[in-house]
């Protein structure tokens, strides 16, 4: 018993000391703790190594905001930036120590966004030209995951696994009935027959115009998918379409029979395949998933970091820079958050770039569905001023539509992937009122005014015809400004302009045909174009903006929020099928919180279309 109390006392004392030390250190202690937790050892690259592309790691334009709470708990989502992936694959093709690429699908697939995936797929295809092999293995391939895996020389699947190839689909959610039941009235003003972003609040289904254009968009993106996979697997498009129509989800044996995979394999057989590709394999240690000693490997992130450090030592840092500015997320008025494109914040960033003489050219990477028209115009003006001094090339990611396209018109050239979603040249305004809700709750409002328009901004009751006419004039005026920018930038006649506007949504492939895009290609195409325009030769380096979000922004601007952040939807213990719908509803509603344009006028893509290419 005495020993028990001694242990209890020691434990209590240790806990008390830890609390006192943590409180004493405060933010400094948290910084130190975070550094200790996040410190990584320098990677080591040996001969006969495979570069690993993990399909479970999402590929985004930029890394997400660091979340202290999640990092300390070890559940911060890993994301690999697109340029890291592409550059690592390109350098690996010339590195004798890298003998193959292993596309690892053992942990499932989180890759999505066909604009970005196209660039990765093209990099993989170029890697194969070096004569080195690509081996892919997975349990269950998602459709986007298989899009990348199809490039491999050998596609292996676990005998208990399978793959998905069933086509693209969208299921937009409509709030009209729910808003009516809640007593919230909605009045909508828009310009553009195809401007469908408002339909979620005014209809219970898609309008004929919107359905038509969404069908065309899905068909075009799907056709690019089919063409790519058919070429990679030496199949016909009609064969793949028949599989999508008749089977959709294929078990391993069916996938093998349809020649979508090359072998059914367990992990030891996968290692044999890697060995055949030249990778060193530890014959005595073949434990499978989660084992770091079964073959020589290096991740994309580790290899990129290794190569970056090597280049810093070998080459003198050039003063000539290309600024790469990421505009990712909804466009909002004010400064916005790290997950949105704030007009004021990005205006300041572009001003800084304009005043930096070491920056010789600029690439604007736009991955945004649009948003506030006022904020888009603030950024547009800064891009226009920047373009007057330095070449500005626009690189479109998965989505660069509506307000995103508004900004793009200020650049010198526009580069997009064939399956980029763009266009949506139109504007709208949504006016909510709580008159019916007030009636249900027994609330009444009276008013005293000096004129019939004094309460034009009130949401207490629906707008009158006169008030609606005022708002419609504002919407029409903003649309006219939008059209003028597009027409001037793209040298379109009024008739041609009308045929591409009206809120129509285009793929990058079709957008080039109608004059909205200059060249098809990815981010690296745009960077190379910028270097050429600025006549930089090979002596230049890329400087990314906004500045990567590290400890400073985390601890001093968002510490409290990071520590106090509540659990996400995955902690609600919902069944998977309910989680999917809950997350869709949550993301849709989140868009409303980003509707902060001072005039209440927006140039934005419908959310469910953005979700196709997030």
Residues with catalytic roles: 195, 402
SS3 (DSSP) at 412: coil
Q: What is the distance of C-alpha 249 from the center of its chain? A: 26
For the CA atoms of 300, 302, 306, 308, the dihedral, rounded to the nearest 10 degrees, stands at 60
The long-range contacts involving 546-550, CB below 8 angstroms and separated by at least 24 positions, are 546/325, 546/326, 546/338, 546/345, 546/349, 548/62, 548/63, 549/63, 549/65, 549/66, 549/338, 550/66
Q: How far apart are CA 204 and CA 187, in angstroms?
A: 15
Backbone phi, psi, residue 322, to 5°: -110, 120
Q: Are 213 and 504 in contact (CB under 8 A)?
A: yes
DSSP symbol at 601: -
The residues pairing with 163 across neighbouring beta strands, listed in sequence order, are: 141, 250
Q: Are 278 and 286 in contact (CB under 8 A)?
A: no
Q: Are 553 and 561 in contact (CB under 8 A)?
A: no
Using alpha carbons only, what angle is made at residue 15 by residues 10 and 19, rounded to the nearest 5 degrees?
150
Q: Are 313 and 354 in contact (CB under 8 A)?
A: no
Question: Omega into 546 within 30° of 0, i.e. cis?
Answer: yes
């Amino acid at each position: 018993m005495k020993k028990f109390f001694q242990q209890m006392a020691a434990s209590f004392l240790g806990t008390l000391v830890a609390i006192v030390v943590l409180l004493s250190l405060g933010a400094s202690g948290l910084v130190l703790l975070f550094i200790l937790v996040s410190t990584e050892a320098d990677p080591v690259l040996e001969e006969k190594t495979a570069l690993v592309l993990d399909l479970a790691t999402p590929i985004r334009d930029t890394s997400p905001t660091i979340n202290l709470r999640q990092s300390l708990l070890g559940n911060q989502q890993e994301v690999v930036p697109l340029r890291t992936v592409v550059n690592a694959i390109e350098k690996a093709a010339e590195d004798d120590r890298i003998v193959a690429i292993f596309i690892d699908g053992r942990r499932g697939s989180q890759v999505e966004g066909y604009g970005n995936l196209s660039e990765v797929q093209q990099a993989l295809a170029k890697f194969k030209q070096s004569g080195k092999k690509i081996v892919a293995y997975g349990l269950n391939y998602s459709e986007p995951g298989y899009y990348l895996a199809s490039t491999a020389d050998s596609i292996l699947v676990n005998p208990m696994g399978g793959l998905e190839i069933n086509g693209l689909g969208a299921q937009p959610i409509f709030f009209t009935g729910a808003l009516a039941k809640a007593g919230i009235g909605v009045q909508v003003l828009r310009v553009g027959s195809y401007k469908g972003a408002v339909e979620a609040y005014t209809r219970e289904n898609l309008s004929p115009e919107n359905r038509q254009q969404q069908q065309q968009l899905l068909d075009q993106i799907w056709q690019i998918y089919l063409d790519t996979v058919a070429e990679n697997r030496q199949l016909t498009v009609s064969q793949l379409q028949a599989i999508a129509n008749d089977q959709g989800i294929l078990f391993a044996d069916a996938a093998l029979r349809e020649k979508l995979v090359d072998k059914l394999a367990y992990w030891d057989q996968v290692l044999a395949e890697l060995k055949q590709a030249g990778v060193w394999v530890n014959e005595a240690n073949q434990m499978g998933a989660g084992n770091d000693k079964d073959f020589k490997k290096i991740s994309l992130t580790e290899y990129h970091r290794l190569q970056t450090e090597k280049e810093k030592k070998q080459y003198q840092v050039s003063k000539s820079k290309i600024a790469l500015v990421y505009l990712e997320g909804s466009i909002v008025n004010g400064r916005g958050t790290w997950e949105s494109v704030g007009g004021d914040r990005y205006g300041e960033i572009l001003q800084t770039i304009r005043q930096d003489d070491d920056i010789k050219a600029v690439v604007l990477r736009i991955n945004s569905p649009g948003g506030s028209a006022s904020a888009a115009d603030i950024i547009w003006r800064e891009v226009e001023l920047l373009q007057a001094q330095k070449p500005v090339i626009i690189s479109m990611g998965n989505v660069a539509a509506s307000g995103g396209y508004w900004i793009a018109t200020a650049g010198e050239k526009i580069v997009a992937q064939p399956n980029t979603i763009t266009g949506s040249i139109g504007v709208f305004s949504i006016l909510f009122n709580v008159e019916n809700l007030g009636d249900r709750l027994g609330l009444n409002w009276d008013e005293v005014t000096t004129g019939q328009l004094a309460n034009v901004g009130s949401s207490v009751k629906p707008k009158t015809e006169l008030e609606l006419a005022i708002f419609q004039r504002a919407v029409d005026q903003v649309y006219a400004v939008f059209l003028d920018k597009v027409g001037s930038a793209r040298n379109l006649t009024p008739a041609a302009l009308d045929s591409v506007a009206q809120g129509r949504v285009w793929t990058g492939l079709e957008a080039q045909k109608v004059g909205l895009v200059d060249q098809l290609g990815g981010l690296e195409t745009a960077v190379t174009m910028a270097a050429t325009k600025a006549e930089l030769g090979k002596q230049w380096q890329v400087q990314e903006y906004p500045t990567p979000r590290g400890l400073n922004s985390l601890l001093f601007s968002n510490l409290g929020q990071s520590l106090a952040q509540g659990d996400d939807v995955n902690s609600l213990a919902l069944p998977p099928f309910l989680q999917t719908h809950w997350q869709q509803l949550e993301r849709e509603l989140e868009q409303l919180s980003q509707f902060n344009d001072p005039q209440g006028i927006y140039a934005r893509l419908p959310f469910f279309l953005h979700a196709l290419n997030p």
